[in-house]
Structure 1
């Protein structure tokens, strides 16, 4: 039913790891008004369309597919921002030697490191589904 092309709309490659920016984008992905919610909303609207005018269903389905590409783009960007973040690099350990302490205390989303293996998650910035 769908055609997938292995090519992002706009590949974003950050200069350096930035877990704080990843946290902000996590909200844009899974938050109350995030891309996942919008994608699912248009998915159900197109699937549940019962009218005779198929062009309206097709329009809504087209918006769903565009939102799906937004989800993929935001996920990819979050993952890029988390690459090499919180590793064994100078500044990633607190004075007591606890790994990730500085990153988490600095405002990063702990779920990205503990649950998500430094990847995007299907939740908002607070870890709520």
Structure 2
């Protein structure tokens, strides 16, 4: 059960309207790594969690918090759009650089949402359910969550430097602080799960099934010009699970055959000439 409370999680109060910034904020609302994505990702992971209750409870707690972040950003966008008009859009687009980069005020804020936030990114592309990861494997999902929070916090930090509005910045600071904690949280969960089951996903896949391919698990193939990649810890030393040592292959060679697909039926219309003996 969900229950809406009228107060926002943190105060959202801008100093002045800024329709151009409103368009940019759409990215951290409805973009690939926006609040809508982490909200849906954590909630679906929680809905479908079959592991220990503490993991489900954590996912539901944070997913519900993210619903509040979506509401905060919608309020922020609405305040940034206060008083916006078609004339403002035309004025903003007069500057060649602004017109080329941003195209003026987002016309959908005027035409579609009536000066409100939308479930889209900063280019107006609708939010997509394929952005979320909810595999049912806790370690895989927690790693995806850390990635999502890392990208999301990066984008908010970039937005922070795109405005001098102290009210907007205050909202962003709260979000940045929460995103930092969420990274800590996923790191802690990842560490605990790795200690339980190992660092490789899925841990339940039998090691003996890979015996014939063991060398493939430790070789780093140098497939670009130069050998600088050999200087990293991914190319030397032991694997994180201690099962073997990395090998840097300076000049890797193909180990497979040349593909030779059969000529398809002519009714498929590939327009291929059949080979003749």
Answer whether TM exceeds 0.5 for this pair. Answer: yes
1:119 pairs with 2:108: no
The CA RMSD over aligned residues, in Å, is 1.7
Runs of 4+ in 1 over 3 A off after TM superposition: 103-106
RCO (CA 8 Å, sep 6+): is it higher in 1 or 2?
1
Say if 1:115 and 1:103 are closer, same or farther in 2 by CA, change over 3 A. farther
1:45 pairs with 2:45: yes
Query: Corresponding residue for 1:56?
Result: 55
Residue ranges of structure 2 left out of the alignment (5+ in a row) = 99-103, 127-277
DSSP-derived class of the 1:60 partner: helix
DSSP-derived class of the 2:84 partner: coil
The Cα offsets for residues 5-28 of structure 1, whole Å up to 9 and x where unpaired, read as 110122222222100110111111
Query: Corresponding residue for 2:34?
Result: 34
Instruction: Output aligned runs, 1:47-126, within 5 Å.
Output: 47-51=47-51, 53-86=52-85, 92=87, 100-103=89-92, 106=98, 107-126=104-123
DSSP-derived class of the 1:118 partner: coil
TM-score, normalised to structure 1, is 0.83
Say if 1:104 and 1:13 are closer, same or farther in 2 by CA, change over 3 A. farther
CA contact (8 A) 1:86 1:103 kept: no
Report the count of equivalent residues.
118
DSSP-derived class of the 1:8 partner: coil
TM-score, normalised to structure 2, is 0.40
State the distance in 1 between where 2:114 and 2:92 align: 15
State the distance in 1 between where 2:11 and 2:21 align: 16
Bigger radius of gyration: 2
Q: CA deviation at 1:42?
A: 0.6
The Cα offsets for residues 97-129 of structure 1, whole Å up to 9 and x where unpaired, read as xxx422455532121112111111111111111
State the distance in 2 between where 1:103 and 1:86 align: 11
